[in-house]
Amino acid sequence: MPKYSVVLATYNRPLLLPRALGTVARQTVKDFEVIVVNDGGCDVAKIIDVVRKYIPNLIYIIHEKNRGCAAAYNTAIRAATGERIVYQSDDDVWFLKHLQAFEEGMEDYPVAYSDNVRVNCEEIGGNLYNFSPQQKEYSQDFDAALLKKVNYIPQSCYCHRRDIIERIGFYDESLPVLVDWDFFRRAAMAGYPFKHIPIVTGEYWYPLDDKGWLSGLLETNPVEWHRCRDMILKKGKIK
């Protein structure tokens, strides 16, 4: 049983996926497995075959149709065997010591998160190009009351013990967006303490020009975004 299960959901980003998986393969901590879930997107089997040369402990699962990121996370978690779950996005970058930060700083906490920097970028032909300096956007010590109102933890900075799923449940597949915040919030409402590790361990790439990405839903469809937010805020405390 590996210590870490790396969850990566991908959908129609064949040019970006190798970069994301490459930053996983180069981690200084090697005690991990990787579960890649292709959420009904284009065929990336050839990419997976190449990556397996560097990450032998890789599980590849295909959704026949697109079911959303929450369903993809849940599929990966059900296949995971690691003690801890960590997340990587197919458009983000981990630094070499991302897992090492949790290995050294998480201690006995059930949940931990590190920091990252935001990179504003432009999408051209399915690839991303950086056009701004790195910006340290998130570095907030854990505050359960604040997390109930707003999310300040990027998904690719998050690590939790797999067994917390037994108490708070899986990701909410009825939500098209904000699924990470909903998950973090339920963990906080269940009383789990979070360990903030104030070390920058990766980059969050944000395409300002492409409003079709889920990250741009607030601008393109604010009604839907606020509907999801209201659904999350109405959830009660987990006993």
Domains of the chain: 4-233 (3.90.550.10)
Q: How would you classify the pairing of strands 32-39 and 4-10?
A: parallel
pLDDT of residue 209: 61
Burial 63-73 (b: 16+ CB within 10 A, else e): beeebbbbbbb
Q: Which residue has the higher pLDDT, 125 or 75?
A: 75
The answer to whether 203 and 92 are in contact (CB under 8 A) is yes
- Residue 59, classed as helix, strand or coil, is strand
Q: Check pLDDT > 70 for residue 31.
A: yes
pLDDT of residue 91: 87
Q: Identify the bridge partners of residue 195 per DSSP, sorted by sequence position.
A: 112
CA atoms within 13 A on the CB side of 217: 13
Q: What is the pLDDT of residues 156-194, one digit of tens each?
A: 999 999 999 999 999 999 998 899 999 999 999 999 999
pLDDT of residue 25: 98
pLDDT of residue 213: 44
Average pLDDT of the residues in 116-145: 75
DSSP annotation string for 126-190: TEEEE-S--EEEE-----HHHHTTS----GGGEEEEGGGHHHH-S--TT-SS-HHHHHHHHHHHT
Q: Any residues with CB less than 8 A from the CB of 234 and at least 6 apart, and which? A: none
The answer to whether 148 and 194 are in contact (CB under 8 A) is no
DSSP 8-state class, residue 29: -
The alpha-helical segments, DSSP class H, found in 17-83 are: 17-25, 45-51, 69-79
Q: Alpha-carbon dihedral of residues 95, 206, 173, 112, nearest 10 degrees?
A: 30
pLDDT of residue 127: 67
Average pLDDT of the residues in 146-155: 91
Q: How many CB atoms sit inside 10 A of residue 25's CB?
A: 16
Q: What mean pLDDT is reported for the chain?
A: 89
pLDDT of residue 59: 98
Q: Check pLDDT > 70 for residue 238.
A: no
Over pLDDT 90: what percentage of the chain?
71
Q: What is the pLDDT of residues 63-113, one digit of tens each?
A: 999 999 999 999 999 999 999 999 999 988 999 999 999 999 999 999 999
pLDDT of residue 52: 97
Q: Please write down the long-range contacts of 215-220, taking CB distance under 8 Å and 24 or more positions apart.
A: 217/176, 217/177
pLDDT of residue 216: 53
Q: What is the pLDDT of residues 37-64, one digit of tens each?
A: 999 999 999 999 999 999 999 999 999 9
Over pLDDT 70: what percentage of the chain?
86
pLDDT of residue 225: 82
Q: Check pLDDT > 50 for residue 17.
A: yes
pLDDT band at 212 (very low <50, low <70, confident <90, very high): very low
Q: Which residue has the higher pLDDT, 211 or 152?
A: 152
- Residue 51, classed as helix, strand or coil, is helix
Kindly state the tokens that stand for 211: 């409003």
